[in-house]
């Protein structure tokens, strides 16, 4: 007989709802859901889940409880309701992106009630949640990770046990630092393209197309350290080539920006710092 994991899911928003729908469709998952809004609960019930009248009611019926709410305050509030009724051995999975110190604080509190906590923020957005291709970055003990894993594997295609409690959140923050710095750089590129009389929407198509081919910023994230590259290291030649191309293209882009009167501070900062950032000293 197939083992069944009883899972509760709290927070059926833009990403939480498609995550829960993946759980509802998964084999070996007995799913309860809760949200303050009745509409997404009804949709999950149609998909085979069962709606809980309260967080407390869900907590008494679940082995693993997934939490995907808005912020630290809501996470703390939800955990408080869970701890009021939860039994020994349950695992709470915090999918919300919270402050770096919050997961350890929550885990310490939960441990006094016999409850394990993992922080497991996700990357991939609503589309990744809908098709089950989320990257899920997990912090917590081996035991807690093993307990949460059946639910996590139903929702994501890349599950990374990043380290102890809090490591998942730190992983997510590092990943999203790059995400939003790249977004800011994209706004510079759009202003430059528009000032030069180009079609900004077509530039977006080109960027999305080539990022699928080259991997975007992730294409340079191949080493296992950010330390300077030593002479003779295989990566020296690879990153020297990246720097040579970057230096040339950034120099020309800044020249164009100066001609068009467009301020591109991120481009100037990149020209100043990229070589050292690549590990070339």
Report how far residue 154's alpha carbon sits from residue 157's, in angstroms, rounded to the nearest whole number.
8
| pLDDT confidence of residue 144 | 98
| pLDDT confidence of residue 267 | 97
| pLDDT confidence of residue 263 | 97
CA 80 to chain centre: 24
Does domain 171-277 fall under CATH 1.10.1040.10? My reply is: yes
Report how far residue 138's alpha carbon sits from residue 91's, in angstroms, rounded to the nearest whole number.
13
Give every CB contact of residue 59 below 8 A, 6+ residues apart in sequence.
Answer: 8, 65, 81, 82, 84, 85, 86, 90
Residue-wise pLDDT tens digits, 12-22 = 999 999 999 99
Q: What is the percent of the chain with per-residue pLDDT over 90, rounded to a whole number? A: 97
Is it the case that residue 2 has pLDDT exceeding 60?
A: no
The answer to whether the CB of 85 falls within 8 A of the CB of 59 is yes
Residue-wise pLDDT tens digits, 213-252 = 999 999 999 999 999 999 999 999 999 999 999 999 999 9
Q: Where are the alpha helices (DSSP H) in the chain?
A: 16-25, 38-46, 55-59, 72-83, 102-111, 125-131, 142-155, 167-195, 200-214, 234-260, 265-277
Report how far residue 88's alpha carbon sits from residue 180's, in angstroms, rounded to the nearest whole number.
40
Is it the case that residue 106 has pLDDT exceeding 80?
A: yes
Indicate the pairing of strand 116-119 with strand 122-123. unpaired
| pLDDT confidence of residue 88 | 81
Cα angle, residue 158 at apex, residues 49 and 18 outer, rounded to 5° = 30
Each domain of the chain, given as residue ranges in start order, spans 5-165, 171-277
Confidence class for position 281, pLDDT limits 50, 70, 90? confident
Residue-wise pLDDT tens digits, 29-83 = 999 999 999 999 999 999 999 999 999 999 999 999 999 999 999 999 999 999 9
| pLDDT confidence of residue 1 | 38
Is it the case that residue 262 has pLDDT exceeding 80?
A: yes
Report the CATH superfamily, name and number, of domain 5-165: NAD(P)-binding Rossmann-like Domain (3.40.50.720)
CA 187 to chain centre: 22
Is it the case that residue 265 has pLDDT exceeding 70?
A: yes
Report how far residue 146's alpha carbon sits from residue 149's, in angstroms, rounded to the nearest whole number.
5
3-state secondary structure of 101: coil
Domains 5-165 and 171-277 share a fold: no
| pLDDT confidence of residue 60 | 93
| Torsional sign, CA 229, 231, 235, 239 | positive
Is it the case that residue 211 has pLDDT exceeding 90?
A: yes
Catalytic (active-site) positions: 172
The DSSP output letter for 197 is T
């Amino acid at each position: 007989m197939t083992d069944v994991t009883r899972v509760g899911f709290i927070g059926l928003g833009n990403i939480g709802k498609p995550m829960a729908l993946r759980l509802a469709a998964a084999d070996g998952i007995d799913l309860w859901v809760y949200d303050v809004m009745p509409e997404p609960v009804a949709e999950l019930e149609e998909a085979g889940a069962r709606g809980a009248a309260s967080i407390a009611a869900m907590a008494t019926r679940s082995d693993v409880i997934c939490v995907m709410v808005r912020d630290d305050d809501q996470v703390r509030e939800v955990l408080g309701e869970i701890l009021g009724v939860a039994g020994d051995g349950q695992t709470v999975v915090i999918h919300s992106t919270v402050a770096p110190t919050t997961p350890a604080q929550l885990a310490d509190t939960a441990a006094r009630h016999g409850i394990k906590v993992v922080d497991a923020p996700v990357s991939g957005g609503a589309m990744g949640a809908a098709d089950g291709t989320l990257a899920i970055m997990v912090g917590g003990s081996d035991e807690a990770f093993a307990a949460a894993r059946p639910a996590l594997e139903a929702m994501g295609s890349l599950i990374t046990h990043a380290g102890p409690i809090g490591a998942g959140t730190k992983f997510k923050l590092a990943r999203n630092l790059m995400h939003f710095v790249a977004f800011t750089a994209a706004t510079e590129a759009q202003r430059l393209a528009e000032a030069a009389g180009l079609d900004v929407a077509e530039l977006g198509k080109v960027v999305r197309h080539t990022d699928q081919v080259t991997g975007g910023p992730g294409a340079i994230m191949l080493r296992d350290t950010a330390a300077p590259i030593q002479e003779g290291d295989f990566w020296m030649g690879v990153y020297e080539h990246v720097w040579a191309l970057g230096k040339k293209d950034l120099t020309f882009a800044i020249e164009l920006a100066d001609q068009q009167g467009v301020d591109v501070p991120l481009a100037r900062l990149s020209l100043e710092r990229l070589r050292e950032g690549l590990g070339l000293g």
